[in-house]
């Protein structure tokens, strides 16, 4: 028991010192939802809040990895230490094809001030977003000043990962289809910056006009979303993206919006942990085995799952 | 109150009679998670179990809508009544582009024995899969003998929708990238049939060999997954797909596997409803408002979300 304790303490010391090996072990604990996770995250919790968390999201093939690499290099040129968490919840269909893009990131792999981690766990998308956020906590505690969360995928998981960030950069490309549709589908609410990558391709100007028109239809906002054109493969436009990212961070801090967003994040995480604790308290071995028996005998009965669930919960709350 | 009651009863009568208007209203109740949902689903629960539920899944652009249309026509030729639920959880990036494919389905729209519904709700992927399954319940209760669930998307939501089906058809195409990767990423466990669509394109034979090799590496199974080549746009191979779907259904019934799968589905649904009931019982107005206050004052404190959540749950369970 005491050797366990000291193992965690040693791990925490290593993470606080920014050691790559300790960070890798810590993130594995978080990713695999291991028993030590809660203690690890809780003990590091007082050390958080220094890193700027940047989410980079957009459809597959739009150039997220390439731009992330360029942004990371630009931050290194400013002598900032950085973390990169590449989240890929869509592995079933796209995992293989994207691996090649990732490999280019390893240009930065030998830099002691850069930590790169790829996360892809199927089985629970919500769980993956939570694990990515906690990996961000570990990187934050380790002293990284900028953390990039690159999410390859679509839909809800993108939004979940983005919710854990301070600044969200939405990347589109001239060929990525109906950009306006993407914006309307919930991404306008989470995007702080919009980047049109592959700006040398046909249709880039049309895409820009469409996006700006859609944005102009909104109510006036305190933060107006800038639209920036880049050619990430040629490192064109990266400096402008960096400038806007920094400008957004200044806006967040000046405006108490950073505080507000982080409080909202705390509330969401408490809710998610409560859900999991209630699940564990409710589903005792006995209840699980009873449920299985109900499943076995109930096949011809008319009790709906709602009726069964209500009965179980009523009994639980009366106990 | 009594007029409410009779409204539900009238709706149920309409659904049991297979009226399209009643089905549409019922599915809207389920999709929008309206108050009447629980009563509606519970009252219809005794009428279920007659329909064969078929999931059609695969990467975007592989031809799912086209094959679904062909399969639906083939079932109509056998005089079976059918339901089609098209689930699109990935709308943010692909929703727009796929709408055109869907429109072709409306060839069947005027057939009184065909009911088609498209569902795409962002916000909760788990919720969408549950709503699709309940839409299937309504179609089942209405007397449809075959229900197709077409899922456009990737990852977890595919798997969730597939779990609610009796027979799962995985579609791949020569160009859909690394098929073996897809199989390894969890789809081999859920696929009952594999269709290689666009079989006239380069690489179809190679894809077939790769898939068959991967399948041959498994332990021998009671049901060996057939691999069928189709050209859905030319209606080639549809009959063979139908034959294998029917063969699988016979296997399921003969083997008590159908019963077993449906019992597992009941268990999963009870668990999911319990989660939602516990959430509602826990998060009273008072607790939500307290949590918000914690969020507001806790910004400089060191209490981790785990500590906060554990305190709240401990108090709740002692009450």
Low-confidence spans in chain B with pLDDT less than 50: 1, 90-100, 123-125, 300
- What is the distance between the alpha carbons of residues A170 and B179, in angstroms, rounded to a whole number? 29
What 3-state DSSP class applies to A85? strand
**Structural domain tally of chain B?**
2
- Judged by CB atoms closer than 8 Å, whether chains meet at A94 and B177 is answered as yes
Question: Which residues in chain A have Cβ-Cβ distances shorter than 8 Å to B96?
Answer: 177-178, 181
Percent of chain A beyond pLDDT 70?
82
| Residue where a domain stops, chosen among B255, B275, B299 | B255
Q: What pLDDT, on a 0 to 100 scale, did the predictor assign at position A218?
A: 82
Give the contacts of B223 (CB within 8 A, at least 6 positions apart). B192, B248, B251
Question: Where does A32-63 have alpha helices with state H?
Answer: 37-44
A55, part of any domain: yes
- Residues of A (257-296) whose Cβ lies below 8 Å from B: 259, 262-264, 266-267, 269-271, 273-275, 277-279, 281-283, 291-292, 294-296
- Residues of A (206-245) whose Cβ lies below 8 Å from B: none
**Span of A26-30, A92-96, B53-57, B173-177 with lowest mean pLDDT:** A92-96
- Judged by CB atoms closer than 8 Å, whether chains meet at B264 and A91 is answered as no
**Looking at the partner chain, which of B41, B264, B309 has a beta carbon nearest the beta carbon of A306?**
B41
Judgement on whether residues A174 and A296 belong to the same structural domain of the protein = no
Q: How confident is the model at residue A81 (pLDDT cuts 50, 70, 90)?
A: very high
Expressed in angstroms, the distance from the first to the final Cα of chain A is: 33
B150, part of any domain: yes
Judgement on whether residues A288 and A195 belong to the same structural domain of the protein = no
Q: Which of B125, B305, B317 to probe by mutation at the A interface, max A CB count within 10 Å?
A: B305
- Judged by CB atoms closer than 8 Å, whether chains meet at A274 and B263 is answered as no
- What is the distance between the alpha carbons of residues A97 and B178, in angstroms, rounded to a whole number? 7
State the nearest Cα–Cα gap between A155 and chain B, in angstroms: 5
- Residues of B (86-125) whose Cβ lies below 8 Å from A: 89-97, 122-125
Judgement on whether residues B146 and B295 belong to the same structural domain of the protein = no
Judgement on whether residues A179 and A301 belong to the same structural domain of the protein = no
- What is the distance between the alpha carbons of residues A294 and A301, in angstroms, rounded to a whole number? 10
B225, part of any domain: yes
State the nearest Cα–Cα gap between B53 and chain A, in angstroms: 17
Give me the sheet containing B114-119, strands edge to edge: B114-119, B82-87, B146-152, B52-58, B167-172, B193-196, B227-229
- What is the distance between the alpha carbons of residues B162 and B193, in angstroms, rounded to a whole number? 12
Q: What is the pLDDT of residues B58-80, one digit of tens each?
A: 877 788 888 999 999 999 999 99
A23, part of any domain: no
State the nearest Cα–Cα gap between A126 and chain B, in angstroms: 10
Question: Which residues in chain A have Cβ-Cβ distances shorter than 8 Å to B306?
Answer: 38, 41-42, 273
Q: What pLDDT, on a 0 to 100 scale, did the predictor assign at position A117?
A: 87
Which residue, among A195, A174, A154, A158, has the nearest Cα to A70 in the 3D structure? Answer: A195
Q: What pLDDT, on a 0 to 100 scale, did the predictor assign at position B4?
A: 57
- Residues of A (23-42) whose Cβ lies below 8 Å from B: 38, 41-42
What 3-state DSSP class applies to B175? coil
| Residue where a domain stops, chosen among A255, A274, A302 | A255
Q: What pLDDT, on a 0 to 100 scale, did the predictor assign at position A72?
A: 94
Global pTM reads 0.76
**Looking at the partner chain, which of B187, B302, B308 has a beta carbon nearest the beta carbon of A92?**
B187
Q: What pLDDT, on a 0 to 100 scale, did the predictor assign at position B32?
A: 84
ipTM of the complex: 0.80
Tokens describing residue A42: 């809780």
Q: What is the CATH number of the domain that holds B200?
A: 3.40.50.300
State the nearest Cα–Cα gap between B228 and chain A, in angstroms: 20
- Judged by CB atoms closer than 8 Å, whether chains meet at A42 and B306 is answered as yes
Judgement on whether residues B237 and B300 belong to the same structural domain of the protein = no
Judgement on whether residues A160 and A302 belong to the same structural domain of the protein = no
Q: What pLDDT, on a 0 to 100 scale, did the predictor assign at position B96?
A: 37
B262, part of any domain: no
Owning domain of residue A171: 48-255
- Judged by CB atoms closer than 8 Å, whether chains meet at B92 and A279 is answered as no
Tokens describing residue A232: 């990430």
Given CB atoms, is A313 within the 8 Å cutoff of chain B? yes
Q: What pLDDT, on a 0 to 100 scale, did the predictor assign at position B295?
A: 73
Judgement on whether residues A112 and A190 belong to the same structural domain of the protein = yes
**Span of A21-35, A180-194, B12-26, B125-139 with lowest mean pLDDT:** A180-194
Q: Which residue has the higher pLDDT, A3 or B116?
A: B116
Q: What pLDDT, on a 0 to 100 scale, did the predictor assign at position A153?
A: 53
Q: What is the pLDDT of residues A52-74, one digit of tens each?
A: 999 998 877 788 888 999 999 99
**Looking at the partner chain, which of B92, B124, B263 has a beta carbon nearest the beta carbon of A182?**
B92
Judgement on whether residues B168 and B309 belong to the same structural domain of the protein = no
State the nearest Cα–Cα gap between A234 and chain B, in angstroms: 25
Q: Is pLDDT of A173 > 60?
A: yes
State the nearest Cα–Cα gap between B75 and chain A, in angstroms: 27
| Residue where a domain stops, chosen among A204, A235, A255 | A255
B261, part of any domain: no
Return the ∠ at Cα A265 (arms to A264 and A271), rounded to 5°.
Answer: 90
- Pairing between strand B82-87 and B52-58? unpaired
Query: How many A/B residue pairs have CB atoms within 8 Å?
Result: 195
Q: What pLDDT, on a 0 to 100 scale, did the predictor assign at position B259?
A: 86
Residue pair B183/B69 in contact (Cβ under 8 Å)? The answer is no
Q: Is pLDDT of A306 > 80?
A: yes
What 3-state DSSP class applies to B107? helix
Q: What is the pLDDT of residues A103-136, one digit of tens each?
A: 566 677 788 899 988 887 554 445 778 888 999 9
CA distances to B19, B60, B88, B200 from B173, rounded to whole Å, are 37, 10, 19, 10
Which residue, among B317, B245, B247, has the nearest Cα to B282 in the 3D structure? Answer: B317
Q: Which residue has the higher pLDDT, B47 or A231?
A: A231
Rounded to a whole number of angstroms, the CA Rg of chain A reads 22
Token look-up 């909202």 returns: A264
Residue pair B296/A270 in contact (Cβ under 8 Å)? The answer is no
State the nearest Cα–Cα gap between B30 and chain A, in angstroms: 13
- Residues of A (121-150) whose Cβ lies below 8 Å from B: 122-125
**Looking at the partner chain, which of A181, A283, A298 has a beta carbon nearest the beta carbon of B266?**
A298
Most confident of A1-5, A167-171, B124-128, B185-189: A167-171
Question: Which residues in chain A have Cβ-Cβ distances shorter than 8 Å to B266?
Answer: 294-295, 298, 305, 308
State the nearest Cα–Cα gap between B221 and chain A, in angstroms: 23
Judgement on whether residues A199 and A293 belong to the same structural domain of the protein = no
Q: Which residue has the higher pLDDT, B176 or A266?
A: A266
- Judged by CB atoms closer than 8 Å, whether chains meet at B271 and A291 is answered as yes
Q: How many CB atoms lie within 10 A of CB A215?
A: 18
Judgement on whether residues A190 and A291 belong to the same structural domain of the protein = no
DSSP state of A224: P
Judgement on whether residues B148 and B297 belong to the same structural domain of the protein = no
- Judged by CB atoms closer than 8 Å, whether chains meet at A307 and B42 is answered as yes
**Span of A167-171, A211-215, B15-19, B80-84 with lowest mean pLDDT:** A211-215
Average pLDDT over residues A195-223: 89
Judgement on whether residues B173 and B314 belong to the same structural domain of the protein = no
A160, part of any domain: yes
Percent of chain A beyond pLDDT 90?
45
- What is the distance between the alpha carbons of residues A151 and A86, in angstroms, rounded to a whole number? 6
B269, part of any domain: no
């Amino acid at each position: 028991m005491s050797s366990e304790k000291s193992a965690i303490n040693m791990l925490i010391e290593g993470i606080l010192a920014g050691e790559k090996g300790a960070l890798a072990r810590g993130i594995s604990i978080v990713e695999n939802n291991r028993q030590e996770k809660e203690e690890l995250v809780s003990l590091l919790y007082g050390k958080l809040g220094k890193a700027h968390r940047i989410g980079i999201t957009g459809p597959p093939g739009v150039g997220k990895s390439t731009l992330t690499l360029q942004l990371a290099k630009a931050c290194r040129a400013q002598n900032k230490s950085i973390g990169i968490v590449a989240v890929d919840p869509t592995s079933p269909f796209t995992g293989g094809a994207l691996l090649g893009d990732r490999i280019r990131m390893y240009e930065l792999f030998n830099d002691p001030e850069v930590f790169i981690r790829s996360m892809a766990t199927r089985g629970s998308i919500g769980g993956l977003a939570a694990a990515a956020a906690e990996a961000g906590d570990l990187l934050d505690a380790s002293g990284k000043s900028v953390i990039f969360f690159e999410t390859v995928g679509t839909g809800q998981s993108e939004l979940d990962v983005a919710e854990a960030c301070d600044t969200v950069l939405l990347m589109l490309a001239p060929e990525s289809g109906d950009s306006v549709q993407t914006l309307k589908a919930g991404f306008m609410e989470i995007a702080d910056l919009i980047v049109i990558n592959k700006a040398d391709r046909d249709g880039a100007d049309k895409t820009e006009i469409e996006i700006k028109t859609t944005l102009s239809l909104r109510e006036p906002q305190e933060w107006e979303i800038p639209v920036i054109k880049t050619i990430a493969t040629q490192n064109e436009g990266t400096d402008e993206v960096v400038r806007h990212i920094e400008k957004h961070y200044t806006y967040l801090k000046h405006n108490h919006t950073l505080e507000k967003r982080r409080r909202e994040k705390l509330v969401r995480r408490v809710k998610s942990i409560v859900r999991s604790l209630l699940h564990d308290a409710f589903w005792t071995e006995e209840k699980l085995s009873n449920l299985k028996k109900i499943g076995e005998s109930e096949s011809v009965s008319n009790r709906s799952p709602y009726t069964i669930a209500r009965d179980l919960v009523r009994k639980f709350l009366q106990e």
